[in-house]
Amino acid sequence: MGHDKLRKFAENESFGCLLQPSAQEVLARGFSQLQDHPVKGHWRERMFGGAEGELVLELGCGKGEYTLELARRNPDRCYVGVDIKGARLWRGAKTATEERLPNVAFLRTRIEFITAFFAPGEVSEIWLTFSDPQMKRENSRLSSPLFLERYRSFMKSGGVIHLKTDSRFLHEYTKAVVEQNGLRQLCCTPDLYGSDAPVPEAVREVQTFYERMFLDMGLPITYLSFVIDHDGPYRYPEFDAAFWRAAEGPRRSFSHQAPKKDSRG
C-alpha cells in the first residue's frame, strides 16, 4: 500500500464526521442478520448535533463532491455520503472538516450493509450518482429490486430516489424497475443537458469531476427520480440487458478511467 494511502487512512481516524465501522462488527451474526450499529436511528444526535433536518444519503459517493455541494446549498438538511473506499472518503471528510460543515457526515461501509445503519423512517432521499451499472450482475445494481427492498426498510413514506448516470444501460434498467412495480415517476430524461426536463435545481448545477469529464467527451447524462413507496415485494422487470449492453458499447470502460492528473487525490 502506498504511503499516501496510509497517510489518508491515518488522518481519517481524526475526522469526527467520518464513521468507519469494521465489517466484522456488522457481520457478527452473519450476513443474513446484520448487527445494527449504535448510530442506527440516532444520526441526528450522534453526528449532527441534534439537528432536526431531513436525512439524505448519497450512495457510492466517492470523494463526496455531490454530498458536500448539496450540504452547502441546503444547510437545513443533513447529508451522509456512503462509500467503501477510505482513500476517497478522506477527501470529502477533510473538506467537510476544513469548511466546518455541520450538516455533512460520511460512512465507510459496503452498501450491502446499509440496513445496519439506518432505522425505519430515518431517511428522506437517496442519491445514486454515477453508480457502477453492473451490467452482468443484476442484484449488484443499486437500483435493483434487492436494493430497493433495503432502502424501503429505512426510508420515509414518500421517500425519493434520484439516479444520475452516464450509463444508458442503468437508466433504462431502473426505468424498467419503476414501471414493473408501478412506482411514481417524478422525472425522467435520457439527456439531462440536452432537454428542458423540469428537474430540481441541483440536478443540473451540481456536477462531479467525472460528470464534467463525461460531458467534455460528449456523453449524455441521464436522470431519473421516483418515489420508493410500494406494497409487497419488489418485482424484477423484463429487461433486454443484451440489447442495452450492446447499445452502450465499450465506452464505460473508457469513460471510467481516471485521468492521471486526478490520481494524486
Q: What is the Cα–Cα distance from 175 to 188, expressed in whole angstroms?
A: 8
Q: What is the Cα–Cα distance from 19 to 118, expressed in whole angstroms?
A: 13
Catalytic annotation present for 83: no
C-alpha cell at 78: 443533513
E strands of the chain, at which residues? 18-19, 55-59, 78-83, 104-108, 123-129, 155-165, 185-189, 222-227
Q: What is the Cα–Cα distance from 224 to 81, expressed in whole angstroms?
A: 20
- Which of 36, 76, 132, 196 is catalytic? The answer is 132
Helix 65-73 crosses helix 86-98 at what angle (to 10 degrees)? 30
Residues with a catalytic annotation lie at: 132
